[in-house]
C-alpha cells in the first residue's frame, strides 16, 4: 500500500476529515471511471462515487490492508454499481453513453482510426460506437463488471478476483462470455474496417 494512502487511512481512522479527503482526491477519478463504464450514465456514476466513499467512510475500520486501498474501493464501487444495475427495470437506462467516454472511445476507435481518417472511416467509427452501446447493455452485471475491469482498467485476473470476490475460473469465463457477446455485435463493423484499411 502506498505510504500516502497509509497515512491518510490512519488519519481517517482517527476521525480527521482531512485524511479521508486525501483518499477521495486520490481515488475518486478511478472510481468514477469504473462506475461510469459499468452504468453508462454520468449521473449514476456520480451518485455511485458518493455512495462508494460513504460506504468506505463507514467501513474504514474494516479495511485490513491485505489488498491495496484502491482495490478495496473498486470492490465497493463494483458492488454499488452491480446493485444499481440489478435494481433497474428499464433497459434504456442501462445503455452505455459511449460518446462521453473518451477513454473507451479511443480504445474502440484505435482499431479503425487512421492518422488522418477518411470520411468513410469516421462513419465506421461512429457505427462501431453506436453498436457498442446496446452490446454493452446485453452483458450481465458480472460480465460487464469483469470486462470493464479487465479491458478498460487493465486489471489482472487476480485483481479482478479480489475486487469481485470470485474464483479465477469464474472471472475468466465471464470475460470470455462478454468478449463473445461483444464480438457478435461488432464483428460486421470490424470486418468492414479491415476491408477499408486495405
Site of grid cell 460506504: 55
Stated pTM of the model: 0.63
Which of 36, 59, 94 terminates a domain? The answer is: 94
Task: Evaluate whether 35 touches 80 at the Cβ level (below 8 Å).
Answer: yes
Task: Evaluate whether 142 touches 174 at the Cβ level (below 8 Å).
Answer: yes
Q: Which band of pLDDT confidence, cut at 50, 70 and 90, is reported for residue 96?
A: very low
Residue 192 pLDDT: 60
Q: What percent of the chain has pLDDT over 70?
A: 72
Instruction: Spell out a b/e string for 136-168, using b for 16 or more CB atoms within 10 Å of the CB, else e.
Output: bbebebbbbbbbbbbbbbebeeebbbbbbebee
* Degrees, nearest 5: CA angle 58-64-67: 110
Model confidence pLDDT, tens digit, residues 30-45? 999 999 988 888 999 9
Model confidence pLDDT, tens digit, residues 133-183? 778 888 888 998 998 898 888 888 998 998 888 999 999 999 999 988 888
- pLDDT: which is higher, 2 or 169: 169
Segments forming the whole domain that contains residue 103: 97-198
Report the domain count for the chain.
Answer: 2
Residue 106 pLDDT: 46
Class of residue 92 by CB neighbours under 10 A (exposed 0-12, middle 13-18, buried 19+): exposed
Any idea what the CATH number is for the domain that residue 164 is in? 1.10.10.10
Task: Evaluate whether 76 touches 52 at the Cβ level (below 8 Å).
Answer: yes
Which of 70, 94, 118 terminates a domain? The answer is: 94
Whether residue 196 sits in one domain with residue 119: yes
- pLDDT: which is higher, 157 or 120: 157
Read off the C-alpha cell for 187: 464483428
Whether residue 191 sits in one domain with residue 119: yes
Whether residue 4 sits in one domain with residue 88: yes
Amino acid at each position: 500500500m502506498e505510504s500516502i494512502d497509509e497515512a491518510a487511512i490512519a488519519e481517517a481512522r482517527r476521525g480527521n476529515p482531512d485524511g479521508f479527503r486525501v483518499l477521495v482526491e486520490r481515488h475518486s477519478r478511478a472510481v468514477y471511471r469504473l462506475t461510469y463504464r459499468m452504468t453508462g450514465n454520468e449521473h449514476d456514476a456520480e451518485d455511485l462515487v458518493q455512495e462508494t466513499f460513504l460506504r468506505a467512510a463507514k467501513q474504514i475500520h474494516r479495511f485490513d490492508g491485505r489488498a491495496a486501498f484502491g482495490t478495496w474501493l473498486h470492490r465497493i464501487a463494483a458492488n454499488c454499481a452491480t446493485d444499481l444495475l440489478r435494481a433497474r427495470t428499464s433497459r434504456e437506462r442501462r445503455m452505455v453513453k459511449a460518446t462521453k467516454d473518451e477513454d473507451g472511445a479511443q480504445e474502440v476507435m484505435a482499431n479503425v482510426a487512421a492518422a488522418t481518417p477518411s470520411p468513410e472511416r469516421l462513419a465506421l467509427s461512429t457505427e462501431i460506437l453506436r453498436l457498442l452501446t446496446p452490446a454493452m447493455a446485453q452483458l450481465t452485471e458480472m460480465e460487464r463488471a469483469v470486462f470493464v475491469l479487465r479491458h478498460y482498467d487493465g486489471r489482472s485476473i487476480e485483481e479482478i478476483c479480489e475486487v469481485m470476490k470470485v474464483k479465477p475460473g469464474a472471472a475468466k469465463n465471464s470475460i470470455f462470455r462478454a468478449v463473445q457477446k461483444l464480438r457478435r455485435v461488432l464483428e460486421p463493423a470490424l470486418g468492414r474496417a479491415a476491408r477499408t484499411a486495405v
